[in-house]
Structure formats: C-alpha cells, structure tokens
Chains A and B, each alone.
Chain A
Amino acid sequence: MLGPSGSGKSTLLGLIAGLDRPTSGEVLIDGVPIQDMSEDALALLRRRSIGFVFQSFLLLGNLTAFENVLLPLELAGTDDGRARAQALLATVGLAERAHHYPSQLSGGEQQRVALARAFGPRPRILLADEPTGNLDRVTGQVVLDMLDALRREDGTTLVLVTHDTEVASRADRRIHLRDGRIDRDETRAHESVV
C-alpha cells in the first residue's frame, strides 16, 4: 500500500486487523465479516491469524528478545514455543542476542526481533506498517529480504505499507491510496499469468 501521509494507509491496516471499526461498510477476512465481532473475538482472530510489524518496532521493553518472540506463541498455546522462538531468532540472525532487552539492541536488530515475533504463530496475514521506515538503507534491505523469505516459506499474505516506491516494486500488487480512496490498483501481470 502506497500513499502520502494522511491518505488512509494506517486506517486501512487498523481496519484489516480489527483494531478499528469502520463507520460504514464491511471488512471480510476469509469471507467472514469482522466489523461486528466483539473485542474478545477480534483478539482471538489476531491471535490465530494476524501478525504485525511496525515502523517503531513496538517490542515490549520489559521482555527480552527471546520472550518477545515467545509471547504470541505462548498465547496461542504452541507446544514447541520455546524451540520455535529460538529457531526464529536464529533465522533472523539474533540467536546470540536472545537474552538482551530491546533497549540493548540496535534499531535493525529490534526490527528483526519484531519480524521473528510476527512470524512465530505462522499467521496467514502479516501486516507491516513501514517496517523499514526507521532503518538505514542496508538494514532495511536485510529486513525486506527476510520478510520476503518468511512469506515464501509459510505462504503468508503480506500487507505492507510504505512510502518507498523501491520497496513497493517488490510487491505482487500495489494499491495507491489518496485522501482515503484507492487511487490505483496495480497487479504484477507476469506473475498472475504464471
């Protein structure tokens, strides 16, 4: 999703995740309307199906990197949560820093922890709000590569919000928003043909 500030990108993300409620219209996840679900039902939907990555990482400051990754696995009641959290941290290259607190990690490292956390419960939808916005170019590239790789492995639908056309160029489908409306909707033709 692309668009200038105030075009409605974050609002759309919030609506998809059930964090916000539409004033009119419907939000369908797997064909099921979610706009009238209770707070509890929405929480369970997120727990089972939706992962997040944010521009400002939003790790829990009083939890170590490992515990941050572990938390959604614990909430979902995953049996091998600890092993999977460890494996995910290894995947993002932070096995050595598992027991550091967010404040002891660099921005890029924090975002990699956030990625590991998001992929832990194998969500079917991953929402990423400018995941590289706070990172330098090289680190941003690394994070994007990981998002892409994790997406391919687990078959997750990745919804990514960005300002950066270069980042957007990697997507199958690009939705341009302007003043709360879809301005353009581009699908990468050659892949849909295949």
Chain B
Amino acid sequence: MSPYLAVRLMAREARGSAARIAFFVACLSVGVAAVVAVSGLSAGIDSAIRAEARPLLGADVAVSAEAPIPEAVSHAVDAIARTRPAAGVVALRELATVVSVPSGSSALVLLKAFGAGYPFYGTLETDPSREPGAPLDPEGMLVAPELASRLHLGIGGELRIGGQPFTVRGLIRKEPDKVNVSFSLGPRVMISIDGLARTDLEGFGSRVERRILIRLADADVARAAEELRAAVPDASGVRVQTYADAQPALREGIRRVGRFLGLVALVSLILGGIGVAQTVRAWLASRLDAIAILKCLGMRPREIVTLYGAETLALGLLGSLVGVAAGTALLAFTPRLLVGLLPALTISPWQPAAAGRGIALGTGIAILFSVPALSAARLVPPLRVLRRDAEPLVPSPLVRAGVALALVLGVFATAYVQARSVAIAGVFVAGMVAATLVLAGAARILTAVVARASAGRVRVVVRHGLAALARPGAGTLPALTALGLGVLVVVAIALVQRGLGERLHADLPEDAPNVFLVDLKAAQWPEVKSILESAGATSVNSVPIVGARLASVDGVAAGELAKHAKDRGRGRWIFTREQNLTSLATLPKDNVVIQGSLWSDPRPEISIERDFAHDMGAKIGSTIVFDVQGVPIELVVTSLRTVEWRSFGINFFLVVEPGVLDDAPQLRVAAARVPPGAEQALQDRLAAATPNVTMLRVREIVEKVAAVLERLGLGIRLLGGFAMAAGAVILAGAIGATARLRGREVSILKTLGTTRRGVVGMFAIEFALIGLVAGVIGTAAGTLLAWGVLTRAMDLEWAWHPAVLAIAPPATALLAIAAGITASAGALRKRPIEVLRGE
C-alpha cells in the first residue's frame, strides 16, 4: 500500500466522524494542555532567569560566604581588580536585624549594605530616583514601602539600626538582584557599607552573608572565576558564582517543582489516554464490517493495522496540537499567579520545547492507548462478510499480556520523561496501576450489586436508570474508572493541602516558645532575661552557642569528606558551613539518647543527633575535631540522640560536654513564650536596650511559609481540575458513543408513553449513579493516598475532613449528570418515528 493511497484511505475514513474526532481531540488536548502549561512555565521561568542572569546576580562573578571572606580570596579579588582595568568590585552584606523608630516601635527587617557601584547590572529603582551606582551616605538608608507605611516613615524619617540613627533617603521600588522573594524574614532596608561599619552588627558571631560583586569584560569571566575558585580554601563554605551559572539553586528548585507538577499533569493526559482507548475501540467496533470487506478486497491484516494506526496517529497529532494551543494560551495567564513567588521576570508563553514535549507525549499516549483496540482489529475475520455473527477472534493470552506490558512500559516512559527519575517514574506507574485496578474492581462489583438491586421494587424511572448502569456495552466502566481517577487526584490534593495548612496553622504546644532571640552576646543575657520576665514571658530558656567549623572526622579532613558528600540536602554543608555547638549538662526532654550514654567518658565528649551523625559519617567512638576560632577541639562521640523538632524548643544537632567550651568565645540564643499581643512591645523594648539582638517570632515565620504553600497549592489544584475535566469529557464520550443505542431506547420509551421529562429523569439517575460511584470510590482512594502522604511521607498527624468527603461524591454526581445529559442531547431530541422507520 503506497503512502499516498494510505493518506487517501485515511481521509475517507475520517468522513462523517466529526463527533468521534471531536471527542478524541477533547480527551487528548486537556492532558496535553496541562503538560504544556507546566513544562512551558518551568522552561519559561528558566530561560527568563538565564536572560536576566546578570541583573539577578548583580555582577559577572560573585563571591559569597556566611563567614568572613578568607584573606586568600580577598587577595585574589584584589589581583583581578588590579590586572583588569575594566573590572569593578563592590561589597555587599546582608543580615536580619531589628530596627526601631525613635518613638520605640520596632520591626524585623532584612538589611542590605552596599558599596559604591552597586548594582553593576539592572537598576535599583527608588522613589525619589537616584543616580545609577551612586553611593549612599553613611547616615542614609533606603526602605521598602511596606516598612515605611508600617512605621509611618517618610523621606527624612529616622530609624535606629544596630543602635545607630539612619535617615530615610528614598523608598525601594525595585531591587534587581532580589532572588528569594517568596520567603524573606522581613521587608528590605538598605544602607551603605560605611553605614554598616557605624553599627556593630557585623561583629563576632553575627549571621551576615558577605558578598563581593565583580564586573568584568565578557571574555574574562570564566578565567577570573577559575582564579577565584583556586583561591578558595577547602571546606571554607565560600561560593563563587558567575552570571553564566544563572542562579543554579533557584533553577534547580523550579525544575524540581516542575517535575512534580509535570507528573500531576501527566495524570490528566493518561486519563485522556483512557478516553482515547475507548474511542478507538468504539470506532473499530463500528468498523468491523468495513474491516472485513477491506480484507475481502485483499487488504492484508498489517495494512489494516497500519491504516487505522496512522489514522490514530493523525488524530493524536491533531489533539496534541489543540492541546499545545490551549496550554500556550494558559501560559499567557499563569505568570500572574507567580507574583510574589518569584523574582519579577518576563516569561514568554511560547515555549517550543514544551510544545514539542506536549506533542510527543500526546501522540505517544494516543498510540499507546489504542494498541489494544488496534491489535484486535488484526483479528477481525473476513468471513464476517458471509456470516454477520463472526465476531473478532479473542487475542491469545500472550498477545494480551504483551499489550498490557507495552501499556505499562509506555506509561513508565512518559512518567520518566516528566520526572527524570527511574524511581519516581516507577512509583508513579505502580500507583496508577494500583489505583486503576482498585477503581475498576470496585466499579465492577458495584455495577453488579446495582444490577441485582434494580430487580427489586423501586420506581420504574429509578429501576430503569439502575439497569442502564449495568447494561452490556454501556462503556461506563472505563468512564467510571477515569472519572474516579480524576476525583482521586482532586481529593488527595485537597486533603494533603488541608493537612499541611492545618499543621502550620495549628496552635503551638502549650509551653512551646513563640519567640527566639539570636545574635545575643553572653554578657547581655542578664539584661535580656529581666526584660523577658518583665514582659510576662514564661518558659524562658537560654543556652550558650559556640560557632565551630568541622575539621575532621576520624582523622579524615572535612575538605576531603565534602568532596565525596552528596550534592543534595545537607550532604555538603555539614562539612563546609559553620556549625553551632552548645554545652548542656542534661538534655531537654524532647531529646532521647538511642545509642551510647551521655557524658560517660573521661575524654571530652559530644552527643550528635542520629541523622546528622549518619550524614557526617560519625559513629559511637568516632573522634571529631572542630576548629573553634582557630583552636582545634577534639571530641569523642559517646551518644546518639533523636530530637522531637516539632516541640519548637531550642535544640542542637551537636551538644558538647559542659566545661569543654568554657574558654571559647560564646554567643547565646534564648527562647521564651510571650503572652499573645505582648510580642511587639517586647521587640520594641529589646530594640531600644539591646539593638544587636534579633527577635524572631515563630507565628510570623510559620504564616509566611503557609502563604507560600497556599500559592503553590493553587497551581496544584488547578492541575487537579484538569484531571477532573478529563474524567468528565471521557464520561460524556462514553455516553456519546452509545448515542444510537440511546436514541433507539428513547424512541421506544416515548412510543410506550414515557414523557420527555421521564426519559431525562431515567438518564439523570443513570449518570448520577455513575458520578456517585466514581465519587465514592475516588474519594476513598484519594483519602487513602492523602493519608499515606501525610502520615508516612510527611510524618504529620491525620485529621478527618468531613466537608471534603461529603462534598466530593455529590459534586461528582452533578458533574456526571451535566456531562451525560449534554452528551445525550441528540438522543433525547429524537422523534420516535425517525428511529422506528429506520429499522
């Protein structure tokens, strides 16, 4: 068969199938739109970040560290500045601190100090506007508008920062290198580096992020970065980034979210696949005679499969293209949902790679899910031309197993494309298969039960509706499964989100501290303690902390260990970041020693949290050396602990035997429970008396996290809606496929004297039952999934949500009625005579 002939045959085959094509396209395009929107958004953000890489970094190369930048690195920076005439260097500092107005009210802010020349790229927009790169005077500051309005500050207004007075010179409209917008401890205040030097905020032990921005000629960037990296001592925690790296951590985070959402989108696409499978089966069933005739006329079985396979491919392509168009249209709106979650970026809705992915996955799923029906088309006996009752042969068990395997492998492949992880794709496929089996099994049992129940004495309308559910060839089983899967996804998402939100909004334990004080000098503790007590604080607690850097574990240097550490999680930073050590005679009650015993050895001892010890590679008896301000301290591990972090108490991974750290320079942290409403007054008093102390409010931080989660949840719910839509389309399609049967039924019912309203009632009951069954099973399975995610994966407590459970099944029933009645509109309009004459 020539390709030209094949195309002509396909074109003829498509005739008079507008409804079928529309349904096929609708099924597929919903899922493709979801996939394209997710992938396009993720790719769009990624390319926007890369396009804005220089302004987001504020430089060509940036050096950053949480500790003072080592001299070797500073020298390397100086050398670069000296040898390259075009180079520019500017210092940045960033820290959280509490500021206050002279009248006493205070606020936690994120302070940024910058030198002349900042920013090298992008513009710092202020009101009134400033000369780009102009230095800020040591007494001046720029403040975020929200802080200005909260503290009633205008231009010329005054704030005390670290105990020193600063004057407002302008309001910050846009900060080019503000990357982490979704979660920051407080509004922005900017001062100059010289201004910071007027305070003692950069003193010993304070949590300051130090950054050096370097501007270079383009060709120099890579080499300069190499020189700087070579100068960075092992395990010093100093990072060298170039604009070409383009915010690797942010982009990796977006990619991860994108992969997760990509899987949620894939669920809609796979539901679409169920619809496709159903359409192709119905289509080929209506073509049994045609296939037999074609075989009689000498068409070979493989040509038949090629013909219908190519037709499926063409429809798959069409559905995917429609999906790409819808997904791209959706992309034009989604950036609005991201305001406040990401830096302000211009995201292009046209993402060719995402469109390509949508087309590939869409056509792939279409072909994949039509394989069972196509493989059966091979087996249509040509003898059917002589004997109408010659049914398609039943494929051998081997062939059926092969087809099932191909389906599972195909879904696995699509999941892998979306998640880029064999393990996640495996779990996804296993979950889909399990959910489908449970839903299909439950649907089968329920229809059987319903069929039996319908024989009982119920009203004729109800009885007829019930019987219709169980009628052979109704196509309701796959529709029910698909709709149920949609409900499952939506319910699981709703419950997980609610569970998380509840946990975040839940009241803290009765005696849990609700404020933490950090950057507290040891000598300030008595004064701070009396302020806390006079403010009515309870559960006041404070421990000393000593900043230390891990030097070696069992004789292996930390630099060496860092090289082999995992890139993810805390794998590497254990070895490179400064750790906080504390000294305690007895452990807090939320700590449980699970191995060894506390302070039981004549040598200096350390007690380590179990998981932290595992990541460090330390065991009972290991020797650990810490570098405390240049002094090595050798400790032996004598106990491992578990910690109940959710108690919100002060807890440490690393606890050292009392006495060992007495000579080391110490800071303190304190925690207390302050009566509701007294937090602001306490912060105001601390800001006046001890301006270097930063007070963190647990409630405020938790609320910020909850707000970010809420925004992310919105996106996930939107995708869940796609799954639901796919389920409804499939139900409508299943009902549409039986339109002829239904038309005949309607005619007979009308002939026998049933009113139009009566017929609509019968149909509504049938669809409502489908929706109800899908809703109940989907809700149950979704609840189970959410329970698993919350209690097993997230280790949270389970709470029932009767509202979700009560609303989901009837809502599904209503959706099913709407979809079903719409799909049967044609059948309901049929006049009896039309059908009876046609017989």
Contact = CB atoms under 8 A, between A and B. Distances in A.
Interface of A: 10, 13-14, 17, 19-20, 39-40, 43-48, 50, 52, 54, 58-63, 67, 71-72, 74-77, 117, 129
Nearest to B296: A52
Interface string B658-672: 000000000000000
Contacts of A62: 12-13, 15-17, 290
A74 B12 CA distance: 14
A90 B303 CA distance: 30
A39 B291 CA distance: 14
Contacts of A72: 297-298
B256 interface: no
B299 interface: yes
Nearest to A123: B298
Nearest to B303: A43
Contacts of A46: 295-298
Contacts of A44: 298, 300
Given A58-B293, A62-B13, A19 B298 contact: no
A117 B17 CA distance: 24
17 contacts: A10-B387, A19-B295, A19-B382, A19-B385, A40-B302, A46-B296, A54-B385, A58-B289, A58-B293, A58-B296, A58-B385, A60-B294, A61-B290, A67-B12, A74-B8, A75-B299, A117-B297
A107 to B, nearest CB: 15
B447 to A, nearest CB: 33
A48 B2 CA distance: 16
A75 B8 CA distance: 12
B386 A40 contact: no
Nearest to B302: A40
B301 interface: yes
A59 B710 CA distance: 61
Interface in B256-296: 289-290, 293-296
A43 B12 contact: no
Most buried by A among B296, B297, B303, B382: B297
B298 A43 contact: yes
A59 B294 CA distance: 10
A13 B296 CA distance: 12
Most buried by A among B298, B382, B387: B298
B12 A63 contact: yes
B5 A74 contact: yes
B86 interface: no
Contacts of A52: 296-297, 385
A20 B296 CA distance: 11
A10 B386 contact: yes
B383 interface: yes
A10 B302 CA distance: 26
B381 interface: yes
B1 interface: yes
Contacts of A74: 5, 8
Contacts of B295: 19, 43, 46
Contacts of A14: 383, 386-387
Contacts of B302: 40
Contact of A47 (B5, B290, B298): B298
A59 B297 CA distance: 11
Interface in B1-51: 1-2, 5, 8, 12-13, 15-17
Interface in B340-368: none
A62 B245 CA distance: 59
A4 B309 CA distance: 42
Given A19-B296, A44-B300, A46-B297, 13 more contacts: A14-B383, A14-B387, A19-B295, A19-B381, A20-B381, A40-B301, A43-B298, A43-B300, A44-B298, A50-B298, A59-B293, A61-B290, A117-B297
Contacts of B293: 58-60
A20 B382 CA distance: 8
A17 B383 CA distance: 9
A17 B12 CA distance: 27
Q: What 5 pairs between A and B have smallest CB-CB spacing?
A: A47-B298, A43-B300, A46-B298, A19-B383, A19-B382
Given A58-B293, A62-B16, A67-B12, A13 B386 contact: yes
Contacts of B294: 60, 71
A43 B297 CA distance: 8
A129 B386 contact: yes
Interface in B293-343: 293-303
Contacts of B299: 43, 47, 75
B386 A75 contact: no
Most buried by B among A20, A43, A63, A67: A43
B506 to A, nearest CB: 63
Nearest to A41: B300
A45 B16 CA distance: 32
Nearest to A120: B297
A118 B382 CA distance: 16
Most buried by B among A39, A47, A76, A117: A39
Given A61-B290, A62-B13, A39 B301 contact: yes
Nearest to A75: B298
Contacts of B297: 46-47, 52, 71-72, 75, 117
A54 B387 CA distance: 11
A14 B295 CA distance: 12
Interface string B630-644: 000000000000000
Interface string B371-395: 0000000000111011100000000
A71 B16 CA distance: 18
Contacts of B296: 17, 19, 46, 52, 58
B298 A20 contact: no
A72 to B, nearest CB: 5
B597 to A, nearest CB: 79
Contacts of B289: 58
A71 B792 CA distance: 62
Contacts of B303: 43
Contacts of B383: 14, 19-20
A45 B297 CA distance: 10
A60 B16 CA distance: 13
Nearest to A46: B298
B204 to A, nearest CB: 86
Contacts of B387: 10, 14
Nearest to A76: B298
A10 B298 CA distance: 19
B750 to A, nearest CB: 25
A60 B296 CA distance: 12
